[in-house]
Amino acid sequence: MQTEIFIRSLLTIFALAQLVCAADAQSKLMPSEEYPGPWLEITGQVRQALALNGISACSQAAGRQSSRNAGEYLVYCTKDERNWTSWVVQPAAPTIRRLGRLMEGIPLPDSY
């Protein structure tokens, strides 16, 4: 009897763990899904957020709006068209987060 209860408990815990993992996997989008594009010229608010945070190497920049958060943008910027940086910018806050690399699956904008 106790063995049967123990096995049922383990099976229940295992089933719940699979549900939690599946829900977590669904909540994580690929970068190209989270920032689907198209590339847009960044707004004055995004430029201001970058400037307020001391980012000056963005003479050329393009952004993609987040599919999860309308107030968040993925920004690629460069000052020489060779060395690009990437940022997540929330201009209303204004907060920025340097990604340090270009996002996998999101190529550079065509216009630069």
pLDDT tens-digit map of 54-66: 998 888 999 999 9
**Strand, helix or coil for residue 59:** coil
Strand order in the sheet with 73-78: 40-41, 60-65, 73-78, 84-90, 95-98
- Tell me which residues of the chain have a pLDDT lower than 70: 1, 6-27, 111-112
Place of tokens 């309308």: 70
Supply the pLDDT for residue 56: 85
pLDDT for position 39 = 96
Alpha helix ranges (H) inside the chain: 2-27, 31-34, 44-52
Task: Output the pLDDT for position 6.
Answer: 56
- Does the pTM surpass 0.85? The reply is no
